[in-house]
Amino acid sequence: MNENRFSDLVNIIRRLRVECPWDREQTNDSIKAATIEEAYEVVESIDNKDFDELKIELGDLLLHVIFHSVIAEEENKFKLEDVIDSIQSKLVRRHPHVFGNVEAMSAEDVKRNWETIKLSEGRNSVLEGVPENLPALQRAYRIQEKASKVGFDWDKKEQVWEKVIEEIGEMHKSEKEETREELENEVGDVFFAMVNYSRFLGINPEYALRNSIKKFVRRFNYIEDKVNESGRKIHESNLKEMDKYWNESKKRI
């Protein structure tokens, strides 16, 4: 890649910070939600296997990386060069099997080494570094994954399934006997146990649930379309009719 093209992009953003009233007013706080949104749009384009869109969305995400860095530079917090130096150093430091003399025969070895190195960098817990604002399913998955890398894990997936059944039983019992707060805790335990079982199956629960939601939306849209064809709105239908169209959609979608 021509380095001048990256420099040109940085200079455009710096100019916008001076000459555009909107860009000039932005702060790291004011654009942080948009940064998250751009990251999700990247993921969506990957899910859709839309590489033309992925190209565009990666550009938008790159814009935010530079934008945040330029703002920080103006406030004398750090420079864009510091961001680049930081990630370069981290990549070399956390890949001693590539840039050093450590052996790693599998991806699992690499992951275990990664967690050990992060602890040596001053972290107090292997669970640090999982953002609290991650979607709950994804955060649960990452926390369980990190704990497993230091040996805190079940031996067999059958044990995890037994835990799922146990938690479902406790939730059902609390539904009848406990307070709403306690019931909420038990529901959370069921989800947490199910995330763990998904991990043992090699399935990321966040992706699995997202796909199920998309499937539900497609099938429910089919119901709406069929009802609309009769000149009615969905709220004028009934459960029997909707179930009929739902079962039709399962054969088609």
Q: Where are the domains of the chain?
A: 3-92, 94-124, 136-203, 207-252
pTM of the complete model:
0.70
**CATH 1.10.287.1080 assigned to 136-203:** yes
Which helix (H) or strand (E) covers residue 245, if one does?
helix 239-252
Is residue 179 within 8 Å of residue 215, measured between CB atoms? no
3, with CB counted inside 10 A (0-12, 13-18, 19+), is: exposed
Is residue 198 within 8 Å of residue 204, measured between CB atoms? yes
The span from the first CA to the last CA of the chain, in angstroms, equals: 43
Q: Which pLDDT score, from 0 to 100, does residue 83 have?
A: 96
**CATH 1.10.287.1080 assigned to 3-92:** yes
Q: Tens digit of pLDDT per residue, the chain (253 long)?
A: 566 899 999 999 999 999 999 999 999 999 999 999 999 999 999 988 999 999 999 999 999 999 999 999 999 999 999 999 999 999 999 899 999 888 888 888 887 787 778 777 877 788 888 888 889 999 999 999 989 988 899 999 999 999 999 999 999 999 887 788 999 999 999 999 999 999 999 999 999 999 999 999 999 999 999 999 999 999 999 999 999 999 999 998 7
Instruction: Tell me whether the CATH fold assigned to 3-92 matches the one assigned to 136-203.
Output: yes
Token pair 């070399």 is found at: 92
